Amino acid sequence: MLLSGCLQVAPQPALPPTSMSSWGPLGGFTVSSGATCAGQITLSNGQAAVNDPCFTASDNIVMCTDTTAPNPVKCAPAAGSLSIAGTTGDTISYVRVR
């Protein structure tokens, strides 16, 4: 008697964050993977704050885009947070690049 069925594999946990650095005569860089530091937030009273340990200092490079309308937006990283200012009610997409 031959039985057939589906093989089920349990979901795997996410990979732990890792970093790799490279340095040369002209400078260096660090690439991190595993932890995402991106998302969307809607501004209330023209402001919002994202609290996340992936923001490590004020020299972090972040990109912010107003996905609702062509309005300007200001993003200021700090240790443990990202402050966003713009037009009330707009939705802002953000990401920490480095």
Q: β-pairing, 47-51 with 81-85?
A: antiparallel
User: Going along 2-96, which residue ranges are E strands?
Assistant: 18-24, 27-33, 38-42, 47-51, 62-66, 74-78, 81-85, 91-96
Pick the more confident residue, 49 or 97. 49
* Range of lowest pLDDT (16-20, 54-58, 83-87, 93-97): 16-20
* Residue 46 per-residue DSSP state: T
| Domain layout of the chain by residue ranges | 29-96
At CB < 8 A and 24+ separation, what contacts does 6-10 make? none
Over residues 42-66, the mean pLDDT reads: 93
- The confidence score (pLDDT) of residue 85 equals 96
Among 72, 68, 71, 61, which residue's Cα sits nearest to residue 95? 61
What pTM does this model have?
A: 0.64
Over residues 6-33, the mean pLDDT reads: 66
Q: Of all residues in the chain, what percent carry a pLDDT higher than 70? A: 71
* Range of lowest pLDDT (13-22, 50-59, 73-82): 13-22
CA–CA gap between residue 20 and residue 52 (Å, rounded) = 21
